Amino acid sequence: MCGIAGIIHTDGPGDVGTEMTKMLQSMKHRGPDSAGYALYGEPSELVVMRFKLADPNETSDFDYNERLERNRREVESRLSKIGATVDRVEGESAYAYRATFRYEGELKPLADYVEDIPGCEVLSLGHSLEIVKDLGDAQTVADQYRLDSFRGTHAIGHVRMATESDVDIAGAHPYWAYPFSDVAVVHNGQLTNYHQWRRRLERNGHRFQSECDSEIIAVYLAERLADGTSLETAMKQSLDDLDGVFTYLVVTEDSLGMAKDAMAAKPLVLHEGENLVALASEESAIRAVLPQEIDSYDPYESEVLVWSR
Amino acid sequence: MVAMNPPTEQDTRGVRNDIRGLAEPDAEAPKVARIEGGTATFDAADLSPRLVNLELRRLVYGEGVREIRVENPGAKHSIAVGLLARCRITINGSLGYFGATLGDGPEIHITGRVGWSVAENMMSGVVVIDKNAGSLTGAAMRGGDLVVRGHVGARTGIDQKGGTIIIGGNAGSMTGFMMQRGRQIICGDVGPGMGDSMYDGAIYVGGTVAALGVDCVEEELTPDDEELLDRKLGIYRMDRPDTFRKFVCGKQLYNYDNLEPSERKLVL
């Protein structure tokens, strides 16, 4: 089933951390397995990288802590080797970290070099994007990663009911559009031509971290954006290229978009306010941040909409 | 008698679940409604969907109240379901999924919008929605009138078996998919795949149709059709488009008399 939500403030930053937690928590019944956030803070000169070195359901063997510490230091040293000036690396939980560094070069070699460390996965990379995802409901994840104080302009989130792959962080949404800076995707549905697209994209040099079908949407869009296609055009092309049932949300540094398949098989409710656009699988999620009576509607089949902050 | 499982402990949000995961199996009506001269009003803001429905049942069946007003429904799911008596309910706000479903008799007026599957399986009665509705509006409906003044999503009246669905705005794709009887009156435009695999019934469209579904064909309007459109739109005070087109089943997919080879052998 899964639940997705998105919010964008068009009049400057808001408490998107708290707002997204409320929206996702009200849809807990749609997916209790894991919760994930893609949050956009104030753009910074530094690159923000969220990464993990182990999975929460991995058994911790005798040198678990030592190995994580060793690998964390290895990430720092590899960042320096590739030419980044590391600002700081903070532990967000026992196995997830947030690194900030100054870096001007290509992101793909950097991500590949860091992910070469055993157990390491780069969750997000960019100047304002931060992806946080973990097992449990939205409130549990928000408390664990202290998201209540996060201020920003827009965010998307996802509560997952695993149907196509394992319950772990790699299978949790949102997906970062590797190796494209500041782009992330959440998806509700199933893609039936996943393997075709995965083979095509892998031949073009893209890496996949999970067995989850939704990951191809992020990588597909990243490839189109890298070719110079606009976000809206890339999303319209995806309606023909992707097969299956889907409603997905995509965020970039300054915009938020939604796309719905030709059968309109997955729900989405949309509210366009004066200074705020909120959309979610259920209206009750929008009501969690806008309790008053609001005007809202369901976008139609094959519809692509994009808003900018 | 099936033994009721003992309720488990309350979770952190104060919601009781029994061993099957069903919410609040032993809940009782909250008795919060204010009853004045045959009319009851209550606020649903702090009530769970189950408590709202229990309160509605208490008022309709227990107190014999025939006019009820529900404030602050807050887009909750499954509100005003399974009411099997004549009564008039006004819901001042919006509902989530499965609003006003499984009803037999009530007149329900929703002043906001509704999510998916509103009035699903309605047997008789009237449901009026002032704003938009989601997909699967009036799914498997068997009787009564369902009126949406705004726009509706996809698959309106899927598997409809009777009654009338009236839409003031536009409708999405696969409208009237597999409908078996009944009528749909859509004043605006309709998306692709309209009337796909319909068995019977009629769809009247005031605007444009993006594309017809399999075995859906256009038919001439008769004076009876015109009378029906005037009457139904008049009852709910809706603007009538100048012209309507009527779409019905082409009956090219009817194979009811053809026996399977194994069955034919038995008959002979």
Say if residues A149 and A19 touch (Cβ distance below 8 Å).
Answer: no
List the structure tokens of A106. 């290509």
The verdict on domain A44-127 having CATH code 3.30.70.3400 is yes
Which among A284, A287, A298 has CB closest to B134? A298
Say if residues A271 and A286 touch (Cβ distance below 8 Å).
Answer: yes
Q: State whether residue B192 sits within 8 Å of chain A by CB.
A: yes
Residue A56 CB-half CA count within 13 A:
18
pTM of the model: 0.90
Which among A269, A291, A301 has CB closest to B172? A301
pLDDT in tens, A59-103: 888 888 899 999 999 999 999 999 999 999 999 888 999 999 999
Dist. CA A51–CA A58, nearest whole Å: 16
Contact state of A284 with B75 under an 8 Å Cβ cutoff: yes
Sequential DSSP letters for B161-180: EEEEEEESS-B-TTTTTT--
pLDDT in tens, B69-128: 999 999 999 999 999 999 999 999 999 999 999 999 999 999 999 999 999 999 999 999
- Which among A284, A289, A290 is the top mutation candidate for probing chain B, defined by the most B β-carbons within 10 Å of its own β-carbon? A284
Phi/psi at B148 (nearest 5 deg)?
-120, 120
User: What is the set of domains in chain B, with CATH numbers?
Assistant: 76-251 (2.160.20.60)
* Residue A259: closest CA among A134, A167, A156: A156
Q: Across the 309 residues of chain A, what is the mean pLDDT of every consecutive 10-residue run?
A: 93 94 94 94 92 87 89 94 93 91 92 92 93 94 94 95 84 90 92 94 88 91 91 96 96 94 93 94 94 91 93
pLDDT in tens, B133-184: 999 999 999 999 999 999 999 999 999 999 999 999 999 999 999 999 999 9
List the structure tokens of A244. 């299956």
Residue A90 CB-half CA count within 13 A:
7
Which among B74, B115, B154 has CB closest to A264? B154
Query: Taking the domains of chain A in order of start, what are their residue ranges?
Result: 3-43+128-308, 44-127
CA B149 to chain centre: 14
Nearest CA in chain B to A268: B134
For residue B40, the SS3 value is strand
Beta strands in chain A (DSSP E): 3-9, 34-40, 47-52, 85-91, 96-102, 121-126, 129-135, 154-160, 175-176, 184-191, 244-251, 255-260, 269-272, 276-280, 304-308
Dist. CA A134–CA A35, nearest whole Å: 6
For residue A280, the SS3 value is strand
Chain A residue numbers touching B132 (CB-CB < 8 A): 296-298
- Which among A294, A301, A302, A303 is the top mutation candidate for probing chain B, defined by the most B β-carbons within 10 Å of its own β-carbon? A301
Residue A45 CB-half CA count within 13 A:
4
Contact state of A282 with B154 under an 8 Å Cβ cutoff: no
- For residues B216, B219, B221, B224, the Cα torsion angle rounded to the nearest 10 degrees is -70
* Bridge partners (DSSP) listed for residue A189: A246
Predicted-complex ipTM score: 0.87
- Class in CATH terms, A3-43+128-308: alpha beta
Distances (CA, A) of B251 to A155, A229, B76: 50, 47, 41
Chain A residue numbers touching B188 (CB-CB < 8 A): none
Dist. CA A54–CA A250, nearest whole Å: 26
Dist. CA B87–CA B70, nearest whole Å: 13
Chain B residue numbers touching A267 (CB-CB < 8 A): 115-116, 134-135
